[in-house]
Amino acid sequence: MIMGDAEAFTREFLPLFRPVPPTRPGVCRICHSGPNNAGHTGEPWATCASCKRTTMNLYGHTPHVVPISLTTRNTQLYDVLVRERDLNGAGGRRGRGDFLAATVAHFYHRHVRCLEGLAGGPFTLVATIPSNDPELPARPLHIMWEVVEKVGALAPLWRPPILLEADTTFAPVLADRRSHRDAFRILWPGWVSGARVLLVDDLFVSGAHVQSAASALIESGAAAVVALVIARLINPASRSPHSAGIWQEACERPFSFAHCCVCDPARGTGA
* 114 makes contact with Zn ion (CB under 5 A): yes
Tell me the H-state helices in 71-207.
Answer: 76-81, 96-119, 143-150, 171-175, 189-192
Cβ–Cβ under 8 Å, residues 50 and 100: no
Q: Which of residues 47-76 bind Zn ion (CB under 5 A)?
A: 48, 51
From the list 23-31, 96-104, 135-143, 170-178, the region that binds Zn ion by CB under 5 A is 23-31
Separation of alpha carbons 76 and 147, rounded Å: 18
Q: Is 189 exposed, middle or buried (0-12, 13-18, 19+ CB in 10 A)?
A: middle
Shortest Å distance, C-beta 181 to Zn ion = 19
**Strand positions, DSSP E, 31-168:** 65-71, 87-89, 92-94, 125-128, 163-165
Q: Are 59 and 263 in contact, with CB atoms under 8 Å apart?
A: no
Give the range of 89-97, 151-159, 169-177, 262-270 binding Zn ion by CB under 5 A: 262-270
- 19-27, 29-37, 167-175, 183-191 -> range binding Zn ion (CB under 5 A): 29-37
- Closest approach of Zn ion to the CB of residue 108, in Å: 10
Compare residues 162 and 214 and give the one whose CB is closer to Zn ion: 214
Instruction: Tell whether residue 119 is a contact of Zn ion (CB under 5 A).
Output: no
**Contact residues for Zn ion, defined by CB under 5 A:** 28, 30-31, 48, 51, 111, 114, 260, 262-263
